[in-house]
Structure 1
Amino acid sequence: MQSRNVNLEREDHLKITETNLTIMMEFVLLGFTDIPQFQWFLFGIFLVIYMIILLGNGVIILITRVDAILQTPMYFFLRNFSFLEICYVSITLPRMLMDLWTQKGTISLFTCATQMCFFLILGTTECFLLAVMAYDRCVAICDPLHYPLVMCPEVRIRLVVASWISAVPVQIGQTCQIFSLPFCGSNTINHFFCDIPPLLKLACGDIFVNEMVVYIFGILFVTVPFLLILGFYIRIISTILKLPANTGWTKAFSTCSSHITVVLLFYGSATVTYLKPKSNQHEGIDKMISLFYTILTPMVNPIIYSLRNKDVRKAMRKFLP
């Protein structure tokens, strides 16, 4: 009798385990289902935004590639940055559009992990590339005589390649660590894409180590590049202030203002998301903040760089009717 009870308990445990495994083979992205009456409206808005991002950044890539005036290191980095923005937003926005269109948010475990991994890699690449662009401006303004030598084609390519590949092994490892956690209970992700903070809320057991890893990588890949950018601009400002007022203050500041605006938009929203204390409150606000660095920043980048840059505006007038 006792043996039979043990066997029944084992069978029940296996059934429960199998059920949990079946559930956790996929997640459900809630997205913006809390406002169902606006689903089609949101689909239209985000579709227009995606087209603006593709068109705007595509134009930047085209004109910086073919226009003779824009064959300088600054526009080489800008071209790579625009390409990165297209890749970055394509990780999340097409999936969100599909979910809004189908009114379903189911996503497989593998697809969710793949989306998060590429999102982290490209997000880290953006942090590094923004730091490289700040370094480029620092050399151009503070050491203009050696600028062509310091930013020769070989150096530019190495800096860009390093920005793209430096975080790949680390972010693959972090993704594997997150998805090796046991997920139990709800499989509903209160977000519009697979990101670390909402996924950790679904994990069972002690996740203290995982949270510490997120903070450490956040400091390394967000805070450190930001401090480098800050250091470069402190040097730039100190150099500009030493110049006579009529020797190019306006031009020097104008070449940096676009980059500073993008840095503040991206780093401000990303820092709030990844370095703030964990909380189950105000999840709707967290989603809105995520929209800033996933969608808004890639959309406004071409606008910022074209409106504030005379050379870009001239090149655009040549190629656009």
Structure 2
Amino acid sequence: MSIKTTVIGSPLAGTSVLFCILDVLASVGRDWEMLHGLPAQVPVFDVSLRTADGAPYWDVNGRKITPDAMLDEGPEADLVIVPDMHFDPNGGFPDAYRRMADWIAAAHARGAIVTSVCSGAVLLGAAGLLDGKEATTHWGYADMLGRAFPDVKVCRERILVPAGEGHRVVTAGGVSAWADLMLYLIARYAGTDEARRIAKLYLIDPHSEGQLTYASLTTGRSHDDQLIADVQVWAARNYDAPSPVAAMAEHAQMTERGFLRRFKKATGQAPTDYIRTLRVEEAKQLLETTAMAVEDISAEVGYSEPSSFRAAFRKRVGVSASAYRRKWQALAPIRT
């Protein structure tokens, strides 16, 4: 019996992830067999694209999308997948999507497994399915998820987080984590051998290193404290100073103790963490674009001891500086 699977579309949903999910799930039990001259299997997933009203819509990329049905039409879903949603990461949950969140909550209450990709986790948060649970989302939406739903334990470094009793809620990290979620669901419903076959068919590599290697570390939350904003601009040019936090306080013409409180209130970070983040972010740029030795980069961004730099880099990025360089310099144009 096929798994009744609803993929939720909306004007805020991206195009590629939506259709990649539909394509990959439809291929399970079919495409590998076709390539090897074997009879097709009974479809594992009965997949449909659905929206709140079932009407065609223009998505965020200007593509006209025609869904298969509306959410309330039968049959009831066994599996719900929410793709990436282009919410404003500096805003709250939009009221226009409350009905959709309620539908997701009701589907879960009936027994459906509910999953999300990237910022789709915000919709699961609005449905109340992440309260008291671990969850992940795109690194650019981690602050929004935590701010809007403070009972959620946001694991911004992770690619895939199954949570709750029976792992009936599953969140995936950035946009390309749709592939990790698909392999997880295929393994769960059709077995690990089938998941491996699909991975080989689509040339999918799971993001085993997590998503910190992709994250921009300096996407701090927005605030209205102009004095602290001015200090942040100053720090971006002077993060390599020997005593940067004391210098920041001096630049703000405040006592160091008062500055620490005010900076953390505005940014959500202690000044020391902020400076380390700036240093590591600059180191990432140097690793991506230059051939400088790691020890020289360490000194360039303000570390007197390379071992301290290596530890700080691995903590914030999830891999060593050398591994980070290999990963991203592989994207450099091939010269012949």
- Highest relative contact order (Cα 8 Å, sep 6+), 1 or 2? 1
Alignment TM class, shorter chain as reference: under 0.3
More helix by share: 1
Instruction: Give me the TM-score of the superposition, normalised by structure 1.
Output: 0.26
